[in-house]
Structure 1
Amino acid sequence: MKKKIALISLVLIILIEFYILVFIVDDAKSTLVKSTEEHYFNKKNDKNDPLKIDDKNNEKAEVFLPVDTILQIPELPNGCEITSVTSLLTFYNYDVTKTEMSDKYLPKQPFHRTNNKLYGSNPYAAYAGDPRDNNGFFTFAPPIVEAANRYITEVGGEDLAKDISGSSRETIMEYVDQGIPVVVWMTRDLSPPKIEYSWYLHETEEIFNALINLHSVVLNGYNDKEVFVMDPLKGQTTYNADLFFESYSSLGSHAMTIVKKSK
């Protein structure tokens, strides 16, 4: 009789330990699943992720393209345009410097005086002056496009610089969505356009009224309210998106970019 009681007690102890073990394993599985779900959630919302997705409507909430920060100072005090396009070229893995682009590839035309009249270039055809000079002025997109294509052709590149001036805000943002940064002409610090200088054009003798606060930057990302830009005077910075594109429009909507030749 004592042996039967002892055997029954041993069986009961084994059963109790088995159920306790099952409970612990099930609880561990539950904890493991919970931890995995939390890790996935945190990974999706990592603020360091260069491309964020809004889960509610599956739209991009933030885009950032890692273009190189290249400052125009000190070598090119008036070279924001050629510095910006150099940043685009290095983004596409071309090994070129801002001074090489300015000195060798950028079309330039110096100022000169004749009969007490100041003559300068048409900024749609050549840079007015020299970016190395404190008295240099600026250029619009066509000479920057020409400089980039001269360089790309010389090194046997498979890309093409193109003038996209006149593009809408939506079109420019589509380029960024596709991973293509864009050089955009704006006013310095988004201030109103200021015209306080003028010269006669070499070819036509027409008077050209020049802006004194024109600036060029690389648009390389955005979020719901801001644009991210590589500013050759400041480095990587942000601007209010609405004000940024208002400035772009106020100057006449000048822009350029670099794409594959097949596009």
Structure 2
Amino acid sequence: MEHTRIDTSVPHPARRYSYWLGGKDHFAADRASGDAIAAAFPAVVELARANRAFLGRAVRHVAEAGVRQFLDIGTGLPAPDNTHEVAQQVAAESRVVYVDNDPIVMMHAQALLVGDPRGRTAYLEADVREPRLILEHQALRDTLDFSRPVALLLVTTLHFVHDDEQVAQIVRELIAPLAPGSFVVLSHGTMDFSNAEGIAAYERMFAARGTDVRARSRATIAGWLEGLELVEPGIVPVADWRPADPAARRPVSPDLGIVGVVARKP
């Protein structure tokens, strides 16, 4: 595949996220963008790490529920406890397809593709805004069997799509072909926990394109998942979804938040 030219002068969410997680695969523009957001919302780095921990707990839950296939859209750069690593700890035969639209992530695909040989991992470069291309991609069809349950992962991915109706349509298209017993693992930025000052800071940054994240409410997210069964405790801050640590050690933000949810298709 011929890769898109990498423009390191423009910040990219995957590289900025890597910066917040303490990774090494980022450039000056990513660091500047990350620092600007952190200056306005100091909890964002801690929230990013809480979101990564949520991903691990959610994948483990789904794998322990018997699912052996995972479609991880917006996977980002390699970091500890990638989806296939967590899933294959539960069941070595688990199969994972990673999807991202950053060419640098594609360059690091080999790191993601080192999984248990009893399972399988694949990677495809695509954008969540084009769900049909993802679902019809040969690499996906060669790896996952959609007649059996699949876990669809949309972890801090949809808030980079700004149009509300487009996001709702994306979710509908991705859920439609999933077999009964499939799961959706989703996390998303929200201002539900924010005070007036935090909301005003967010609106200023978004208007000035200081952030590319479109925060949405838990009610909006619940609407995307209509017809699915929400796994307890429902749509909650990512740090509070079946946490492994006491409440006193979980990040609390009065400005920017990330909620997570796991839902099952009946």
Q: TM-score, normalised by structure 2?
A: 0.27
> Between Structure 1 and Structure 2, whose CA radius of gyration is higher?
1
Q: TM-score, normalised by structure 1?
A: 0.27
Q: Larger % of strand: which?
A: 1
